[in-house]
Structure 1
Amino acid sequence: MFKILLIDRCNFTRSGMETWLNQTPLFSTSFLITALHNLMLAKEHIVQWQPDLVIADLHGFKNEIHHIQQLASFFSVCRESTQVMLLESGEDAQLSQFYAQFSINATLQKTESLDVLAQAIDAMILARPHLALPRIVTPLLTRQEEKVLTLWMEGTNNQTIARKLCINSKTVYTYKRNIRMKLGMGNRFTPFLSLPERAN
């Protein structure tokens, strides 16, 4: 069984790809798939889960990062044995030039046909050895911490996060502290989390 990690901001792409990969007769093996919409969680997931194939639309995150070099940390956690496919939602000369320094097995646009996508995935699958059993990984963050992190990255303030999750605003502070500790962040101004808060 092959482990695939899908990273995409678009919920429709994540759910559509997951359904397609699990139901199509084009592949000779079954997949264990995880889909994420958060680059930081994806990075931690790659480290712990060690997927065979990562399919990512990094172009979709372009407006969320402060500097293009922040994407280097994403590529740094991909092992040599991890296949990386970029399935991009757009074209950007600066990103393309940046990608050239990393080991990327395939770069496709989302406008490609499913046949072309299936062929690329199949070629990557054949390049990897089979794993008899998937390893079970304990998530780094709890579900509630993931919810807090998602709202936090959207720039939502503590009071609004507390209201949306039906918790105390002091509890939100505690969740944020725990998230920083678990993800090895020094302070709240760490890249990706230094977004301005907005009131809802």
Structure 2
Amino acid sequence: MYKILLVDRCYFTRTGLESWLNQTDFFPAAFLVTALNNLMLAKEHIIQWQPDLIVADLFGFKHDLHHIEQFSSLLAACGKENRLILLQSGEDAALADYCAQYPLQASLLKTAPLETLARVIDAAVLERPAREMPQIAAPLLTRQEEKVLSLWMEGRSNQSIASKMCINRKTVYTYKRNIRMKLGMDNRFTPFLSLPESVN
């Protein structure tokens, strides 16, 4: 059983790839797939869930505030134990040069044929030994907590989040407290703080 983390802002890409990866006709190995649309949450998943393979579209996040810090944080979390495939929704020379500093399994555009992507994924997972099937495959955050975190990262107030999700404002506070505890955040401003700049 191989664990794959999909990181993509596009809902349709995440659900489409997740469905495609779970079709056993295409791949000789079985996959446990988690899909996320948040770079900070993805970094925490890499550290704690330790996927064998990360498939990410960083191009979709390049206009985010503090995107370089989030990219470096995510890319630094990828280590020897997992492989990174960039499946980009567009081309950007500066982003490509930046990502080239990190070990990548492959970099493809989303327009690449599925057969090509399947070969790249097969090569990446076959380089690693299979893990035993986990007894419990629980995500780090619940679906509701992921929704709250996404809205929180957009800068919405507790009242706005409560209205959007049709829940009580006190429930939003509880979700935020749980998110901070699970992600090891020191205070309520942690998701919005940029990482310190590296000195060269």
Return the TM-score normalized by structure 2: 0.85
Q: Which residue of 2 aligns with 1:9?
A: 9
- Report the Cα offset of residue 188 of structure 1: 4.4
Q: Is the 8 A contact 2:61 2:67 kept in 1?
A: no
Instruction: Write the mapping of 1:106-117 to structure 2, written as runs, cut at 5 A.
Output: 106-117=106-117
Secondary structure, counterpart of 1:64 in structure 2: coil
Q: How many Å separate the matches in 1 of 2:139 and 2:3?
A: 16
- Report the Cα offset of residue 76 of structure 1: 1.9
Q: Which runs of 5+ in 1 are unaligned?
A: 195-200
Q: How many Å separate the matches in 2 of 1:98 and 1:15?
A: 28
Instruction: Write the mapping of 1:112-123 to structure 2, written as runs, cut at 5 A.
Output: 112-123=112-123
- Report the Cα offset of residue 69 of structure 1: 3.0
Q: Which residue of 1 aligns with 2:125?
A: 125
Q: Which residue of 2 aligns with 1:198?
A: none
Q: Which residue of 2 aligns with 1:41?
A: 41
Q: Deviations over 1:79-113 (max 9, x none)?
A: 21201100000111111111121111110000111
Note closer, same or farther for the CA distance 1:114–1:140 as it changes in structure 2 (3 Å cut).
closer
Secondary structure, counterpart of 1:85 in structure 2: strand
Q: How many Å separate the matches in 2 of 1:174 and 1:155?
A: 17
Q: How many Å separate the matches in 1 of 2:103 and 2:136?
A: 27
Q: Deviations over 1:115-145 (max 9, x none)?
A: 1111111111221112232353554334432
2:25 is aligned with 1:30: no
Q: Which residue of 2 aligns with 1:160?
A: 160
Instruction: Give the total of aligned pairs.
Output: 194
- Report the Cα offset of residue 26 of structure 1: 3.2
Q: Which residue of 1 aligns with 2:96?
A: 96
Secondary structure, counterpart of 1:152 in structure 2: helix
Q: Aligned AA for 2:175?
A: Y
Q: Aligned AA for 2:118?
A: A
Q: Is the 8 A contact 1:66 1:192 kept in 2?
A: no
- Report the Cα offset of residue 18 of structure 1: 1.3
Aligned CA-pair RMSD: 2.2
Q: Which runs of 5+ in 2 are unaligned?
A: 195-200
